[in-house]
Chains A and B, each alone.
Chain A
């Protein structure tokens, strides 16, 4: 269990430092099970910081989203670091951004938060009625305790955590300057049970499955916007010339979009599952990502977001890479 007072004390100490610009964390949302990102710039704001099973968003996205304003003539650029709270999966996003040189190590200060699993709001709302009251949650002895308006409720962890947390192999941050709380036990396996059921089907059945799913895509691009690895200044989805993917919303363009999104994460996806969480039409996007994670680990024995010194997978090669598919 995590002591919130300790977390807030640490946050205060951190933002009082001269070399910290601001701290990115979570705070209670405006209603119900929501939490929202919290940008802490002063000691008062630090009082609202939380870390609970409801803190689903991956804050690493905000590292690359920050606006880079031109430095006025004669002024010195602001080289202070951004402090960021990360769960296990988020820390892999930070590492992968370091690998790709999207951010610099000396510009972030990582506060690691070992995490026992994040609540999937959709699973929870099947069990608990929707509420406008703010709800607090915490982990306790393998269970998740919720303070609902109707009273306290406890749920077994595995019933309400997100799918990605059931297979999570890195609940403890892989990179951290300072850690809050104690390391937790790793329960996920290295298997790919979540996609094996789909892989064993034949091509027609797989296409029937995906046609159904991509057909409902409304091309809101939330999956791209929330992805910590999608930080290209210029995205092919926004380009009109050449138009890689046309803007019409139909099965052909939607499939091309989903293939492009998944492929651009090949060897980079850190399995935080944010794309799937924010998808308004509930497309199982993480299946596509997990398939590529599986291929990358089987063919190239590579796991993204672990080693900050690694080379990006698709920017290198080994002469003896597998080539059984080549005629």
Chain B
């Protein structure tokens, strides 16, 4: 895909770790790609796998779900439950032919501003290679 394609990434960040990690990256003035649309959720376990499908339908080129490291979840086990769900959803999406780079998941703690930068840069670079999502976005009807 062309160099100047800017992917549209929807990021679901958990309130306690990843959102604070992204915030730390900002306050530390770490530069990272501005392609994210961040949606703050209380826990990565709050993210219904259908959110991912829905985001892709509504024009996202990729989705990132990020939560606390295993064992660090504010709600004890939310991210463990999310991990199982998304392991399966990822395989299912891949099986129907969605590029596996479009769905990403990461653990970023509140102190990992630098890791957050690496994760986002990696995701955005991958999506630049993968190109726009053309499989099943909703048709935009211009009445």
Which of under 10, 10 to 19, 20 to 34, or 35 or more describes the interface residues of B?
Answer: 35 or more
Which of A252, A291, A296, A323 makes the CB contact (< 8 A) with B137? A252
Residues of A within 8 A of B99 (CB): 203
Q: Are B92 and A206 in contact (CB under 8 A)?
A: no
Residue from A246, A267, A313, A325 having most chain B Cβ neighbours under 10 A: A325
Q: Are B138 and A296 in contact (CB under 8 A)?
A: no
Residue from A198, A209, A267, A327 having most chain B Cβ neighbours under 10 A: A327
A sample of 17 cross-chain residue pairs with beta-carbon separation below 8 angstroms, ordered by A number, consists of A199-B95, A203-B94, A206-B95, A207-B96, A211-B135, A244-B50, A252-B136, A252-B138, A253-B57, A259-B50, A291-B95, A295-B87, A317-B77, A317-B81, A318-B80, A319-B70, A326-B83
Which of B88, B96, B97, B123 makes the CB contact (< 8 A) with A327? B123
Q: Are A206 and B138 in contact (CB under 8 A)?
A: no
Residues of B within 8 A of A206 (CB): 95-97
Shortest CB-to-CB span from B81 to chain A, Å, is 6
Residues of B within 8 A of A315 (CB): 81
Question: Is B107 in the interface zone, CB < 8 Å from A?
Answer: yes
Q: Are A313 and B92 in contact (CB under 8 A)?
A: no
Residues of A within 8 A of B119 (CB): 327
Which of B53, B97, B122 makes the CB contact (< 8 A) with A210? B97
Q: List the 8 closest A-B pairs by CB distance, nearest first.
A: A207-B97, A206-B97, A317-B80, A327-B106, A255-B136, A252-B136, A210-B96, A291-B95
Residues of B within 8 A of A323 (CB): 70, 83, 87
Residues of B within 8 A of A255 (CB): 53, 96, 135-136
Question: Is A260 in the interface zone, CB < 8 Å from B?
Answer: yes
- B48 and chain A: residue at smallest CB distance: A244
Number of interface residues of A (CB under 8 A): 46
Which of A205, A291, A322 makes the CB contact (< 8 A) with B92? A291
Residues of B within 8 A of A292 (CB): 88, 91-92
Shortest CB-to-CB span from B20 to chain A, Å, is 18
Question: Is A42 in the interface zone, CB < 8 Å from B?
Answer: no
Residues of A within 8 A of B71 (CB): 319
State A310–B116 Cα separation when bound (angstroms). Answer: 38
State A205–B96 Cα separation when bound (angstroms). Answer: 9
- A243 and chain B: residue at smallest CB distance: B54
Residues of A within 8 A of B33 (CB): none
Residues of B within 8 A of A266 (CB): 85, 88-89, 92
Question: Is B84 in the interface zone, CB < 8 Å from A?
Answer: yes
Q: Are B97 and A321 in contact (CB under 8 A)?
A: no
Shortest CB-to-CB span from B87 to chain A, Å, is 6
Q: Are B123 and A208 in contact (CB under 8 A)?
A: no
Shortest CB-to-CB span from A214 to chain B, Å, is 8
Question: Is A262 in the interface zone, CB < 8 Å from B?
Answer: yes
Which of A208, A244, A313 makes the CB contact (< 8 A) with B97? A208
- B51 and chain A: residue at smallest CB distance: A244
Over the window 281-306 of chain A, the binary record of Cβ atoms lying under 8 Å from chain B Cβ atoms (1 yes, 0 no) is 00000001001100110011000000
State A326–B87 Cα separation when bound (angstroms). Answer: 9
State A211–B136 Cα separation when bound (angstroms). Answer: 9
- B135 and chain A: residue at smallest CB distance: A207
State A51–B10 Cα separation when bound (angstroms). Answer: 53
Residues of B within 8 A of A327 (CB): 104-106, 119, 122-123
Residues of A within 8 A of B98 (CB): 203, 207
State A297–B98 Cα separation when bound (angstroms). Answer: 22
Question: Is A75 in the interface zone, CB < 8 Å from B?
Answer: no
